[in-house]
Structure 1
Amino acid sequence: MTATQTPVVPDLAALQQRAAQRAAERAGGQDRLRGHIVCDGLVRIFKTEGVEVVALQGLDMVIDRGELVAIVGASGSGKSTLLNILSGLDTPTAGIARVADYDLLNLSAKRRLSYRRKKVGFVWQQTGRNLLPYLTAQENVELPMELAGGRRRRARRERARELLDLVGVGYCADRRPGQLSGGEQQRCAVAVAVANDPEVLFADEPTGELDEATGAEVFGALQTINAELGVTIVVVTHDHAVASQVRRTVAIRDGRTASEVRRTARIHEDGRTELVSEEYAVLDRTGRMQLPPAFVEALSLRDRVRLNLEPDHVEVRPGDQRRAEREAGA
């Protein structure tokens, strides 16, 4: 366990509490908060010219309603594949992938379209993919509402203005994307993604093309949406500054969930607040877990390890066969 002090902790704790309250209101009660996103034994296999590539190898993950979660992992770990499945852009090969009341393995084309229009929003890394260049920021936000129907023009206009103000770019309402900075475009994209009041927002490297300060503004917009609207948000990122500002970070390795970092605010008697981070290995339903690479390298663990069950913990030691034989002979 590691602990670091940071001045943003009170804001992080307050935002998390507010998001949980808003999520409870959206769900209609506290008893429906858990298991908003559920993956159980999720498998995705790609076949190309007779070659099979297993991108997800039985991934397990549960995200509660109203959470803001960061997913991290090296290139090829499977995190983008996971995001594409959860957002309805791809179909899993096997296992369970459920978002709200939608079974993503067995969606008809019509229901999948409804899911993507009404239940989820998406923000791409490339700013040019999020906005239509010939529409103003406000018109971009209004477009999803117009396609979904159900709102009058005046209501769409008012809703678009509210969302642009919420993410801090209300002054950009009448500008086209070419007149906006990268950060302004991404914040407008967040407003577009939640225009139809989705339950879940997915963001694929939303700060990947931005500098640190601008990226912080975009992530701040995501935090605001999470807190004020109670939207569950899943962010795939390589940005450590982003990953360290959420209460939960999930690491994926070789197509499986490998570890989680959970952060809690601890208030000392003298009024100091520090953010305490705890890293956990993820135990799947068959009892398997992945040791952190740093642990494996530090002890030169190879092939086999020795396990000793203690009253309150399990010891993991290098599997030195000769040493084991000596101890057995003694």
Structure 2
Amino acid sequence: MTTIAERNAVPDLASLQQRAAEQAAARAGGADRLRGHIVCDGLVRIFKTEGVEVVALQGLDLVIDRGELLAIVGASGSGKSTLLNILSGLDTPTAGIARVADFDLLTMSTKSRLRYRRHTVGFVWQQTGRNLLPYLTAVENVELPMQLAGRRSRRVRRERARELLDLVGVGYCADRRPGQLSGGEQQRCAVAVAVANDPEVLFADEPTGELDEATGAEVFGALQMINAELGVTVVVVTHDHAVADHVRRTVAIRDGRTASEVRRTARTAADGSTELVSEEYAVLDRTGRLQLPAAFVDALSLRDRVRLNLEPDHVEVRPGQRDDVRPGERNETTA
């Protein structure tokens, strides 16, 4: 584990990604076991209330590699929180495949689900009050999951708790209760609590949603550090663009399906410096469906049916019928 001084240097995203990949490979027992840590295939979740069915997830597909730090974004009601609840074991899918670290979340027994939530995954809520017990100090809150799991002696638990608080930058808060901490300090303590039992995956639901920009950056920095130093796969649901813009991959969900991805890669510029290059992709599912960006649909007034034309290296998507297009004109976009 690196020193506090080295962590305070705030390495760039490329360095953090490299360290996370190395730690994840060590946890997995080799680089050949890195892929497919989280797999969703045709995932469906239907809620039934008083005879009314609401389809929250409509055949969602998603693969997350071991050691990734991933952001999931989407409008309210898009299905992102439902997805997170399923993956964290708080909810059960209706159909499809949802697998995390070799656990089948569709067929898991109650006993297995409890063990899964206690040892395999950690969770950080948006509301700071839900993450910590108010009558325990920060270090006691971090110790509690280890005590419930019965995995370590009291001395080892205390040492481990203090190490984790140091790792997320709030070691000085160890002997304070939540009421004596700021919102950002509480959330960083919550991150330490979530990884107390050394889980393989950490889920965070809007962890910066109640914080200002500067404090939110500190909390996200704690998630980055956990990912880099421990190799934990981190999945963050967020509306915060400052968070979504500082991860290697951002997945957008729309109407219960994955709609697009933004991937950021580090490239060496001509002057030798490293820069991040972002590329956005539409997501194509196994049946060949994709969701066109809303801006494209609006710009061309695409409705109901569209014309497709296969070219050697791309596909043209054109309006099916436009009364305002004069003969000889072409109004098209390339997908």
Matched, 1:283 2:284: yes
**Structure 2 regions of 5+ residues with no counterpart?**
1-8, 329-335
Matched, 1:156 2:160: no
Q: Which residue of 1 aligns with 2:93?
A: 92
Q: Which has the higher contact order (CA 8 A, sep 6+)?
A: 1
Q: Per the alignment, in what secondary structure is the counterpart of residue 162 of structure 1?
A: helix
Matches within 5 A, 1:197-208: 197-208=198-209
Q: Per the alignment, in what secondary structure is the counterpart of residue 290 of structure 2?
A: coil
Amino acid at match of 1:209: E
Residues 114-134 of structure 1 deviation map (CA, whole Å, 9 limit, x = unaligned) = 000000000000000000000
Distance 1:271 1:9 in 2: 20
Distance 2:201 2:270 in 1: 38
Matched, 1:143 2:137: no
Amino acid at match of 1:100: A
Q: Which residue of 1 aligns with 2:168?
A: 167
Shift of residue 267, structure 1, vs aligned partner: 1.4
Q: Per the alignment, in what secondary structure is the counterpart of residue 146 of structure 1?
A: helix
Structure 1 segments of 4+ aligned residues over 6 angstroms from their partners? 321-324
Verify the 8 A CA contact 1:9 1:265 in the aligned structure 2. Answer: no
Q: Which residue of 2 aligns with 1:238?
A: 239
Q: Per the alignment, in what secondary structure is the counterpart of residue 275 of structure 2?
A: strand
Q: Per the alignment, in what secondary structure is the counterpart of residue 265 of structure 1?
A: strand
Q: Per the alignment, in what secondary structure is the counterpart of residue 159 of structure 1?
A: helix
Q: Per the alignment, in what secondary structure is the counterpart of residue 12 of structure 2?
A: helix
Distance 1:32 1:149 in 2: 29
Q: Which residue of 1 aligns with 2:258?
A: 257
Matched, 1:106 2:107: yes
Verify the 8 A CA contact 1:9 1:274 in the aligned structure 2. Answer: no
Verify the 8 A CA contact 1:9 1:275 in the aligned structure 2. Answer: no
Q: Which residue of 1 aligns with 2:124?
A: 123
Verify the 8 A CA contact 1:73 1:253 in the aligned structure 2. Answer: yes
Q: Which residue of 2 aligns with 1:28?
A: 29
Distance 1:70 1:287 in 2: 24
Cα RMSD after superposing both structures: 1.6
Q: How many aligned residue pairs are there? A: 319
Amino acid at match of 1:204: D
Verify the 8 A CA contact 1:249 1:262 in the aligned structure 2. Answer: yes
Residues 155-183 of structure 1 deviation map (CA, whole Å, 9 limit, x = unaligned) = 00000000000000000000000000000
Q: Which residue of 2 aligns with 1:5?
A: none
Matches within 5 A, 1:64-83: 64-83=65-84
Q: Which residue of 2 aligns with 1:38?
A: 39
Shift of residue 272, structure 1, vs aligned partner: 3.4
Matches within 5 A, 1:178-257: 178-257=179-258
Amino acid at match of 1:233: V
Distance 1:110 1:235 in 2: 26
Verify the 8 A CA contact 1:133 1:177 in the aligned structure 2. Answer: yes
Q: Per the alignment, in what secondary structure is the counterpart of residue 265 of structure 2?
A: strand
Verify the 8 A CA contact 1:10 1:265 in the aligned structure 2. Answer: no
Distance 2:151 2:189 in 1: 22
Distance 2:168 2:81 in 1: 25
Shift of residue 322, structure 1, vs aligned partner: 7.2
Amino acid at match of 1:177: P
Q: Per the alignment, in what secondary structure is the counterpart of residue 135 of structure 1?
A: coil
Matches within 5 A, 1:287-302: 287-302=288-303
Distance 2:306 2:85 in 1: 36
Q: Which residue of 1 aligns with 2:333?
A: none
Q: Which residue of 1 aligns with 2:16?
A: 15
Shift of residue 274, structure 1, vs aligned partner: 2.3
Distance 1:265 1:117 in 2: 35
Q: Which residue of 2 aligns with 1:313?
A: 314
Distance 2:269 2:234 in 1: 30
Shift of residue 269, structure 1, vs aligned partner: 1.7
Q: Per the alignment, in what secondary structure is the counterpart of residue 45 of structure 1?
A: strand
The TM-score, its normalising length taken from structure 2, stands at 0.93
Distance 1:118 1:167 in 2: 20
Percent of aligned pairs with the same amino acid = 88
Q: Which residue of 1 aligns with 2:3?
A: none
- Evaluate the alpha carbon distance shift between residue 268 and residue 316 of structure 1 in structure 2; reply closer, same or farther with a 3 A threshold: same
**Structure 1 regions of 5+ residues with no counterpart?**
1-7
Distance 1:122 1:100 in 2: 16
Distance 1:319 1:20 in 2: 46
Amino acid at match of 1:156: R
Shift of residue 323, structure 1, vs aligned partner: 9.9
Shift of residue 273, structure 1, vs aligned partner: 2.9
Distance 2:121 2:308 in 1: 44
Distance 1:154 1:61 in 2: 41
Q: Per the alignment, in what secondary structure is the counterpart of residue 258 of structure 1?
A: strand
